[in-house]
Structure 1
């Protein structure tokens, strides 16, 4: 395995362009922008509380540091710009996301919703009974680190056995990982596609936030909740 810093820079540039473009397009869709207005209004009320700003700031700081380490020390060894067939790119995307989601499901269910220290840590996030956008960042820094590390570890582990992933593969995986973890905390209530799908994701995770006894532990899909009987 070689250290491919050029492919890593291309990956970062791709993520930046897609993110900026996506935000621009979302602002042009009134239905989505209406949901953004609702979340902004609720977020402002929450951020006015003394407890929110320090937690959100700490979470973003640890998230930034963890990602910096990931892109400097891990990604260059598992990314490539060499051409790969479309079927392999699609297979790798599914593999990374589903392996990560499996490990996250187990961690979320048996560690964060288990007994002891980590349940108390996760309880901070569960103070949000009706989550909105800002609650994706109202998370204990240690839990933030663990969540990102699970994603990094899943990608690195698969990269060792499956070989380097194409830039497009990691770009899609990172965007899905980052955005779904925010979307599932947003207040979204829409009837048209794709808003209906996003609403379903949002409602399912809102059910999880009702108390510490609910299911819906997975974060990418709810497949594992369906398989293991924890779907609410």
Structure 2
């Protein structure tokens, strides 16, 4: 929904000002989007009792996962995106391509819905392969390799 015309223009577009995102972009968003995101845990706790350690582990995982997803450095190994299991998970490259145009690759954690709905960018595998070639493997940003 955040990519519908009105919400994108007035709310989610703040996050997409980062065309070549850094880990800081993971936490760069409009106050209204921050409010909605902050309501996920309290609403979940009303419906499902969760141990505080599980909740803390989830919060830490979310922080690390979001920073990694916006890192602009692909850390996953070559072939991961095409693997029968690994290919089901969003990579840094997958999300980076989403930030380039704000179209396609909408998946937050998984790629399968993008594949089902035809919204996965057709250049994803090519760009992932380019980002994970051995000669460019260490500490080169996705934007500089793929741009």
Give your verdict on TM over 0.5. yes
Q: TM-score, normalised by structure 1?
A: 0.41
C-alpha contact (below 8 Å) 1:124/1:140 kept by paired residues: yes
* 1:215 Cα offset (Å): 1.9
- 76, 89, 101: which one pairs with 1:211? 101
Matches within 5 A, 1:46-57: none
* 1:173 Cα offset (Å): 2.2
- 133, 158, 178: which one pairs with 2:63? 178
Matches within 5 A, 1:46-195: 110=1, 112-116=2-6, 118-120=7-9, 121-153=11-43, 155-156=44-45, 158-159=47-48, 164-190=49-75, 192=77
**Two-structure CA RMSD over aligned residues (Å):** 2.8
- 106, 114, 120: which one pairs with 1:225? 114
Cα 1:170–1:226 change in 2 (3 A) is farther
Q: Secondary structure at the match of 1:225?
A: helix
Aligned residues: 112
Cα 1:223–1:204 change in 2 (3 A) is same
Q: Which structure would you say has the larger Rg?
A: 1
* 1:141 Cα offset (Å): 1.8
Cα 1:191–1:169 change in 2 (3 A) is closer
Find the aligned partners of 1:181 and 1:169 in 2 and give their Cα distance. Answer: 18
* 1:157 Cα offset (Å): 5.0
Q: TM-score, normalised by structure 2?
A: 0.61
Which runs of no fewer than 5 residues in structure 1 stay unpaired?
Answer: 1-109
* 1:168 Cα offset (Å): 4.0
C-alpha contact (below 8 Å) 1:208/1:215 kept by paired residues: yes
C-alpha contact (below 8 Å) 1:133/1:185 kept by paired residues: yes
Which runs of no fewer than 5 residues in structure 2 stay unpaired?
Answer: 122-147
Higher RCO (CA 8 Å, separation ≥ 6 residues): 1
C-alpha contact (below 8 Å) 1:125/1:138 kept by paired residues: yes
* 1:184 Cα offset (Å): 0.9
C-alpha contact (below 8 Å) 1:186/1:202 kept by paired residues: yes
Greater helix share, 1 or 2? 1
Find the aligned partners of 1:225 and 1:157 in 2 and give their Cα distance. Answer: 30
